[in-house]
Amino acid sequence: MQNWSKIKGSKGAIFVVLALLLATQAALASDAPLTPMAALERLLSAEKLQEEWFSPLVLQQITLAQLEQIIAQLTGNLGAFQGVSESGSTLLALYERGEIPTTIGLDDQGRIATILFQPPRLGAVGLDEATAGFGELPGSVSLIVLSNQGELASIEPDLPLAVGSAFKLAVLAAAETKVRHGELAWDSVVRFDDAWRSLPSGMLQEWPAGSPLTLHTLAALMISISDNTATDALISIVGREFVELFSPRNAPFLTTREAFVLKNPQNAETLERFRGADAAGRRAILEEVNELPLPDPLAFANGPVALDVEWYLTGRELCGLMAAVRHLDLVTINPGLADPGDWSRVAFKGGSEPGVLNLTTWLERGDDFYCVSATWNDKAALDELRFYSLYSSLIEALKTL
């Protein structure tokens, strides 16, 4: 043990004290909470995740095994993890073949309290290479890239596939037409009707009956957060038969509520009758369907269910619908996978359910415009990260044209 009596008041004491202070600061620094960058780097480079790295709130929403699966997917699609860099207020997780914009928040103990991986950005590739990746996906794929100069790329662009909530572009086009002809107005107020209540996605299903809502609010919720209840309200207000003029293949045009009820395994007999009926018979069955209760959302948690109960559109049709509504402000609220900073205008609508994915984007820059619509259907679970990566690479390729 050091004999302090021998060095008290000497120059040596000063150096000893300084050394002790520096050692103490280093020790304190080693115990200090991690920075967000360090926490993200540890998360993505670790061989095994540790519970103490996460706040209890995070672990209530996702398990360590699920997080490890997501991280393994990232590596599988993008190659080895390279590190983390900063880009403004966003962190970039860097991989061999691309990068992932990531937002991460830590609590006062340095634990991960929030984390959001945005769709990956692949390294620069040409339009042909970006298109080819879609052709390697299993199942059925449709892709079209249109511009003011014509069709730039395509894979089965006229193949009707299930498109999930992208069908809501037809509902919006129908509503826009009635507004343009003076039959409706965006600032018209309606009262929330219990008959419109559906399952999420969205939030309107939780609102009390009688709540006042404008037509614009309903349309904005339908497109920006894919609110199913807002969608069913608009179908009711605009009229099912009028919406069918914008998508005749889907007559009778289902509400989201009707689709959920028909897909409910408990209503298998009703579904079989619906499948075997003609258009008039289906309309009659829908009257029965609307008397049945909504199913538990967990009924659809185990993979694709009755994919014939869907809305079938081609990529070319979706681009046509998007072109009809691209001027509306509400289609720009959610830009999807495109960076609004790269374009003068971005309009977007996507759709998904187990076994179904669609992304449709309208892009403008100067006098040029593009529409990119990609759809993927399969009976097996879809690799959403791979699909998003391919789609992002298409948009990146368009930036160089």
User: pLDDT above 90 covers what percent of the chain?
Assistant: 77
* Residue 116: pLDDT band with limits 50, 70, 90: confident
Q: What are 63-102's pLDDT values in tens digits?
A: 999 999 889 988 988 889 999 999 777 899 999 888 888 9
Q: What is the mean pLDDT of residues 290-302?
A: 92
Determine the pLDDT at residue 218: 98
Q: pTM surpassing 0.85? A: no
β-sheet bridge partners, residue 147: 150, 370
Length of the chain (residues): 401
H or E stretch including 71? helix 64-78
Determine the pLDDT at residue 371: 98
For the domain spanning 127-253+310-399, the CATH number is 3.40.710.10
Q: What are 10-42's pLDDT values in tens digits?
A: 333 333 333 333 333 433 344 556 899 999 999
CA 105 to centroid of chain Cα atoms: 20
β-sheet bridge partners, residue 121: 99
Spans of all domains in the chain = 36-118, 127-253+310-399, 254-309
Q: What tokens appear for 197 in the block?
A: 């209540």
**155 and 142 Cβ atoms separated by less than 8 Å:** yes
**157 and 144 Cβ atoms separated by less than 8 Å:** yes
CB under 8 Å to 3, separation ≥6 — which residues? none
Q: What tokens appear for 350 in the block?
A: 């996507």
Residue 401 has pLDDT above 90, yes or no: no
Q: What is the mean pLDDT of residues 247-272?
A: 98
